[in-house]
């Protein structure tokens, strides 16, 4: 669509709003074939939409950019409106391709483009990931934190959580690649991560809701419990991921040799190691009540193939009882279980947790969220389509995600899996459903 001459530009927002409104109603009706509303219902819905649009226009004109973005992201509107998005994106590209040397008032166009981005964001189904790392702040990851945020924006994520690992408190806990670091280095690195993440949260607020958090370790409960509480008092976090990466103080997700060493220390059998893992996880859950539970069954990653795939409920009822206990506890306090796609890039055909645990959580009424657990640009959103397809085949109807409300507090919101699968977000993946 060609840009109108400068003297007509003040009306442009109203025209865009009208176009969005008509297309919105059209697409909205198209998406609800089983639910044909009566005429008064349409009129009433139309009235609500007009009111919302007017309020939106008002807020776009009157609020600061940052406040505006917060308001929009907090509303969490979930409507699939591919045609509206496509139309606005075309206009956006045309606007931004205009040369600054033309007679047009480009500052006005830039403002307009930002407005369009906010409208685009409002009409998309939300897309979210609750767990990420970057090469800036952890040695086993790649790429800069800001590049990872930019990639998430570019892919169309609406919520993305920045959750670097907490500083560990003993040199014995460092991984081989960290051998030259000190405990102070870890603490300084985490402080830098926090400041950087908060700065990015503000900088990218018009485009994406970033939540700033951390991922736990819980290597020794008596040391890590106060350590994590001190961290929470020192910084203010929007959320965090509660994970266990060690059993009997030894890492269980680094390699098979260390997994085996942990097994020997935990009693000498995979069954004993699994039991110890779920007990240490329970201690962490009971102590911290994490809003998001990280890779629930990570203990399976380096287990011998038979044990990874083992039907635990049938073969190891004692271990299963611990899993049930942990799941029930998380459901009672309201935590989200992440469906963590990192398991797929590590060779599994499904995310953490595996289907048996997903089905247990579903039976008990637990809530799931999505995480890519990315450790670099190439892993942002990686295999999300496989995760969503997998859980929809298991019968999962709803996904949940964290968002920030008007006051900046984290809140839990819900998406329908069926609706999520129609989002234009998925067109960037090969081999879809």
φ/ψ of residue 422, rounded to 5 = -95, 0
Q: How far is the CB of 294 from Zn ion (least distance, A)?
A: 5
Q: Report d(CA 321, CA 274) in Å as an integer.
A: 12
Q: Which is nearer to Zn ion, 258 or 419 (CB)?
A: 258
User: Other C-beta atoms within 10 Å of 332: how many?
Assistant: 10
* Under 8 Å between Cβ of 242 and 216: yes
Q: Which is nearer to Zn ion, 117 or 243 (CB)?
A: 243
Q: Which is nearer to Zn ion, 238 or 373 (CB)?
A: 373
* Residue list 61-100, contact with Zn ion (CB under 5 A): none
Q: Which is nearer to Zn ion, 136 or 215 (CB)?
A: 215
φ/ψ of residue 116, rounded to 5 = -60, -40
* Span interacting with Zn ion, options 173-181, 182-190, 207-215, 216-224, rule CB under 5 A: 207-215
- Tell me the residue number closest to Zn ion, measured at CB: 243
* Residue list 213-272, contact with Zn ion (CB under 5 A): 215, 243
Q: How far is the CB of 289 from Zn ion (least distance, A)?
A: 18
Q: How far is the CB of 425 from Zn ion (least distance, A)?
A: 22
* Owner of token pair 């040199």: 171
Binding to Zn ion by CB under 5 A, coded x per residue (else -) over 371-410, reads --x-------------------------------------
Cα–Cα nearest to 355, from 396, 402, 302, 305: 396
- Strands 398-404, 410-416: parallel, antiparallel or unpaired by DSSP? antiparallel
Q: How far is the CB of 164 from Zn ion (least distance, A)?
A: 9
Q: Which is nearer to Zn ion, 121 or 128 (CB)?
A: 128
User: Other C-beta atoms within 10 Å of 91: how many?
Assistant: 18
* Under 8 Å between Cβ of 219 and 265: no
Q: How far is the CB of 186 from Zn ion (least distance, A)?
A: 15
Query: Can the peptide bond before residue 353 be classed as cis, meaning omega within 30 degrees of 0?
Result: yes
Q: Which is nearer to Zn ion, 215 or 350 (CB)?
A: 215
Q: Which tokens in the block code for residue 104?
A: 């047009």
Where does this chain bind Zn ion (CB under 5 A)? 215, 243, 373
């Amino acid at each position: 669509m060609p840009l109108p001459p400068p003297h007509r530009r003040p009306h442009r927002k109203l025209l865009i709003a009208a176009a969005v409104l008509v297309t919105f109603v059209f697409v909205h009706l198209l998406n609800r074939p089983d639910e044909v509303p009566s005429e008064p219902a349409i009129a009433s819905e139309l009235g609500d939409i007009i009111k919302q649009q007017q309020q939106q226009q008002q807020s776009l004109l009157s609020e600061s950019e940052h406040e505006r973005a917060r308001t929009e992201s907090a509303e969490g509107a979930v409507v699939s409106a591919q045609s509206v998005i496509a139309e606005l994106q075309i206009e956006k590209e045309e606007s931004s391709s205009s040369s600054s040397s033309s007679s047009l008032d480009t500052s006005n166009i830039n403002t307009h483009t930002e407005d369009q981005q906010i409208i685009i964001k409002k009409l998309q189904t939300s897309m979210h990931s609750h767990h990420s790392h970057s090469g800036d702040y952890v040695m086993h990851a790649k790429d800069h934190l800001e590049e990872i945020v930019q990639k998430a924006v570019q892919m169309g994520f609406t919520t993305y959580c920045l959750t670097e690992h907490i500083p560990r408190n003993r040199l014995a806990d460092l991984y081989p690649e960290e051998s030259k670091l000190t405990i102070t280095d870890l603490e300084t690195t985490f402080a830098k991560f926090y400041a950087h993440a908060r700065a990015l949260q503000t900088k990218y607020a018009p485009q994406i809701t970033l939540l700033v958090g951390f991922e736990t370790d819980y290597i020794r409960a008596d040391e890590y419990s106060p350590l994590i509480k001190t961290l929470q008092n020192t910084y203010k976090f929007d959320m965090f991921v509660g994970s266990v990466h060690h059993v009997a103080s030894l890492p269980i997700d680094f390699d098979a040799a260390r997994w085996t060493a942990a097994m020997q220390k935990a009693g000498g059998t995979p069954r004993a190691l699994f039991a110890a893992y779920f007990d240490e996880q329970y201690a962490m859950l009971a102590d911290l009540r994490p809003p998001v539970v990280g890779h629930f069954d990570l203990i399976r990653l380096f287990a011998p193939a038979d044990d990874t795939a083992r039907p635990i409920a049938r073969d190891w009822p004692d271990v299963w009882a611990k899993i049930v206990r942990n799941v029930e506890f998380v459901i009672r306090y309201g935590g989200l279980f992440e469906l963590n796609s990192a398991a797929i890039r590590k060779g599994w055909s499904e995310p953490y947790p595996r289907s048996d645990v997903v089905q247990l959580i579903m039976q008990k009424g637990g809530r799931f969220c999505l995480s890519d657990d990315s450790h670099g640009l190439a892993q942002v959103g990686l295999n999300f389509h496989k995760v969503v397809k997998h859980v929809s085949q298991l019968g999962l109807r709803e996904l949940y995600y964290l968002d920030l409300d008007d006051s900046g507090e984290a809140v839990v919101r819900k998406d329908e899996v069926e609706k999520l699968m129609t989002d234009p977000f998925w067109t960037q993946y090969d081999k879809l459903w």
